Structure formats: C-alpha cells, structure tokens
Amino acid sequence: MTLKIDLKSAILALSDALDLVGVDDFQHGKRVAMIARETGLALGLPEKHLDRLVCASLLHDVGVSSTTIHQRLLQETNWGHRHAHCESGYRLLQPFAHLSLLATAIRYHHTHWVELPSGLAEGEALDSNLILLGERVDALVFQRGLENPLFNRVGIVEAVAALAGRELSPVVVDAFLGVAAREAFWIALVPRHVQRYVLDLPLGDWSLSIDFPQFGHVARLISSIVDAKSHFTAAHSLGVAQLARYLGERAGLAGDTPARLEVAGLMHDVGKLCVPDEIVEKPARLTPLEFSVMERHSFETYEILRHIPGLEQVAEWAAFHHEALNGNGYPFRRGADGLSTEARIVAVADVFQALAQERPYRGAQRAEEIPRWLNDFVGNGVLDGELVALACEDLDGSWRAATAVPSPDACVWD
C-alpha cells in the first residue's frame, strides 16, 4: 500500500475523539495541552520537549471512554479510582512505536509530585506533573465557567498555589504563576482560541508520515477506546471491521480497498464517544430527545476522520453507516445514488454485527436468525440486497468474521 498518513493529523483526530467524552467539557485535552505547554515554555523547555508534552497532554485521557468517569475525574480530583484510566492509557499506547514515547507521562499524570516513582526519568516526571497541573487548572476553569476564565483567575491561581510541594512541583507552580499573570493566557482558554492554538503548533517531530499498515494499528487503538464505552458494545467495532473486510474481499473489490474498509469499520462509531453512557446503555426505547443525541454520532465520526489527509473516502464509508438506500437514514439523508458500494458494505456489517451482540433492550440473535432481520432491512429499503445476500451465502464465514476476537498480536495490515 502506498497511502501515507500524517501522524500529527492522526493525533489531532484522536484528540478530537477524546474531547467528545467530556460532552459539556469539550476540548479538555486541548486546554490541558495549552496550559502545560505555556508553563513548559516559562520553564525554558526546548521545542522538542514541548512537542512531546503537547502530544501527551492531548492524549492523556486515552484510557477514558465513559462520560460518567470523565465527570468524576473533573469533579473529584482525588477520586480513589483515578489511576485506573492512567494504567489503561499506558497499556494502550505501549505497542506503538511513536505513541509509546508518551505512555509513561500519561501513566503518572494523576500521581502527586511527592508520590512519583524515584526511578522515573526527570523529563517524564516533569511532563506528568505539567499534565496534572493542566488537569487541575482546567477542572477549576470548567467548574467556574468556560465563558470567561479571565474573570475567575484569582480564585484559580490561589487554589493551584496551595498545591505546591504536594500535588505539584514548586518549580512548576512558580512557572504557572508567571504565566497566569498574563490576561492573554486566560482569554485564550475559551473554545475558539484554544482550538486555533493547538492547530497552529507545528509539532515538527510528530508531523511525519506513517504508512497505512501503521495507521491500521492506530485505528484499532481508537476502536478499542470506543468499544470500551459499554460492555454491550465490546469488540463491536472490531467485528464490523472484520466483516466489512471479509465482504469487500468476497465482492471482489480490488487493491487495498478491503483494508480501507477494515479501517472504516474500526472507526465508524468513534463519534459515539459524545453520547452519554445512560443513553448508550438505556434498556428501553429512546425518547425523541435521546435519539437526537444518538443521531449525532455518525456526523461526529465524519468530522473527525475527514480532516486526516488521505482518509477522505474512508471517512464517508465510516460515517454513512446509518444512511439508507431509500434516503430515510441519518444524518445526511443520502439515498442510493449517494451511497458507494463500500459505504453499503459497512452498513451491512454494522447491522449484522449488532444483531449478533446483546444490547440493553434485547438479547443476541443466533446466526440462523440474522438473515431474516437483514432481509427485513432490505425490504424496507435500508440495506443493499445483493450485499446482504453475499453475507448470507456464507453465513458461517460472516458470523466468524463478525464475532471472532483475534489475539492482540494479530496483524492483518500487510
């Protein structure tokens, strides 16, 4: 495969996905990155160190996919289970050549300065503490209101100063107090400015090309975060990806298209991170208001993926999985003329895999029951009949693709 993906764009996309988990506290990772970087600048850190710090800050909550846990982390700074997501983030990033450089700082970003392991490298200890500083400041900003952080700065500065020597390094706090004296720092924390702040950073060492197989592993990382949101969706994205690739191969799609279909399947539900846990796990029919929240997820998927150069087509295949041939799907109301074969394949794979899994409102369907459900969708003008027939012709093979969970070391990107 010749397709190359920019790692910086992939990190920013992953950051956008993680930002969704906050629901109301949008752009948490980006504000933490800005707070940490500005304090690092005041400490005189070199540019390469600052770039690594920014990337670690953007991804520091990579172990969080639950909106409930995110809220507790913001509201209860010393919550007893706060280290669990740090360990999850560490494990998730360890296997990746570039992202593994961020793993240790993320592992200890909720560890108090006086409790950091004695053997931790000085740079990683500093990065962890700068991220913790960003977390503390952002929690206080959010609690007092994101509309005007400047107005609330005095109380925030006093609260942070009180943490020096215990949770935060005195050197870090002193540097932050110097940064906090500038009105521009607080004004820049509002959403439109912090977004531009991060996008304008060159992140030189991280603006490099990775090949498509490497990005496939990053896509699997993203899918694991999404699927961890609920035990009802455990391995859902992985199953959709495997079945989409399997159907693409059976349909005779050429070149790297089946592999790209797998990436689309892995990331098709990334926008679901914005849906509150109580809606995802509701055991009854959604209210119109709740369904309108659920409908957002496909659009959010599109907005996250389309900004990664080279993934424009994949973004459409992933985001159109709730569109329908009759034009009555959501959220773009695409009809048959606007849905490619690849987008139709992802839609079939999504329905098939969902039927094979338990949901809060129904049990898992047996393999032999799935064709009836799929053909009902065909009859109602939702799914492509030829592709459904392709999935049902080899029902055992489709079932295995949709439900098999490979070992973590399995590689299908070659």
A 10 A CB-CB count for 118 gives: 5
CATH code for position 220: 1.10.3210.10
A 10 A CB-CB count for 403 gives: 18
Print the SS3 string covering 199-253.
Answer: HCCCCHHHCCEEEHHHHHHHHHHHHHHHHCCCHHHCCHHHHHHHHHHHHHHHCCC
Q: For residue 410, is it within any domain?
A: no
- The pLDDT score that the predictor gives to residue 96 is 85
Q: Of the residues 182, 206, 230, which one is the last residue of a structural domain?
A: 206
Q: For residue 409, is it within any domain?
A: no
Whether residue 231 is found in the same domain as residue 195: no
- The pLDDT score that the predictor gives to residue 413 is 47
Q: Of the residues 177, 206, 235, which one is the last residue of a structural domain?
A: 206
* Token duo for residue 294: 């659920």
Whether residue 171 is found in the same domain as residue 314: no
Euclidean distance between CA atoms 369 and 52, whole angstroms: 50
Cross-strand bridge partners of residue 5: 210
Separation in Å, CA 156 to CA 24, 70, 142, 193: 20, 21, 11, 20
Tell the residue number behind the tokens 């959501």, with chain if given. 330
Whether residue 220 is found in the same domain as residue 198: no
Whether residue 217 is found in the same domain as residue 312: yes
Whether residue 91 is found in the same domain as residue 227: no
Which residues in the chain land under pLDDT 70? 1-2, 23-25, 406-414
Q: For residue 58, is it within any domain?
A: yes
* Token duo for residue 357: 């899994």
Q: For residue 411, is it within any domain?
A: no
Q: How many domains does the chain have?
A: 2
Euclidean distance between CA atoms 377 and 388, whole angstroms: 9
- The pLDDT score that the predictor gives to residue 414 is 44
Euclidean distance between CA atoms 68 and 71, whole angstroms: 5
Instruction: Express each pLDDT in 62-84 by its tens digit.
Output: 999 888 888 888 788 788 888 99
Q: For residue 412, is it within any domain?
A: no
Whether residue 277 is found in the same domain as residue 366: yes
Asked if residue 91 lies in contact with residue 99, where contact means CB atoms within 8 angstroms, the answer is no
Whether residue 50 is found in the same domain as residue 185: yes
Whether residue 278 is found in the same domain as residue 224: yes
Helix, coil or strand: residue 77:
coil
Q: Of the residues 171, 206, 241, which one is the last residue of a structural domain?
A: 206
Domain that holds residue 125: 4-206
Q: For residue 357, is it within any domain?
A: yes
Q: For residue 76, is it within any domain?
A: yes
At 380, the amino acid letter reads N
Whether residue 378 is found in the same domain as residue 262: yes
Whether residue 159 is found in the same domain as residue 275: no
The DSSP code sequence of 156-175 is: HHHHHHTTBTTTB-HHHHHH
Give Cα 210 distance to the centre of its chain. 19
Alpha-carbon torsion, ordered 124, 128, 133, 139, to 10 deg: 160
Whether residue 220 is found in the same domain as residue 172: no
pTM of the model: 0.92
Q: For residue 342, is it within any domain?
A: yes
> Which is nearest to 260 in space by CA: 295, 312, 207, 186?
312
> Which is nearest to 227 in space by CA: 273, 291, 283, 261?
273
Whether residue 166 is found in the same domain as residue 216: no
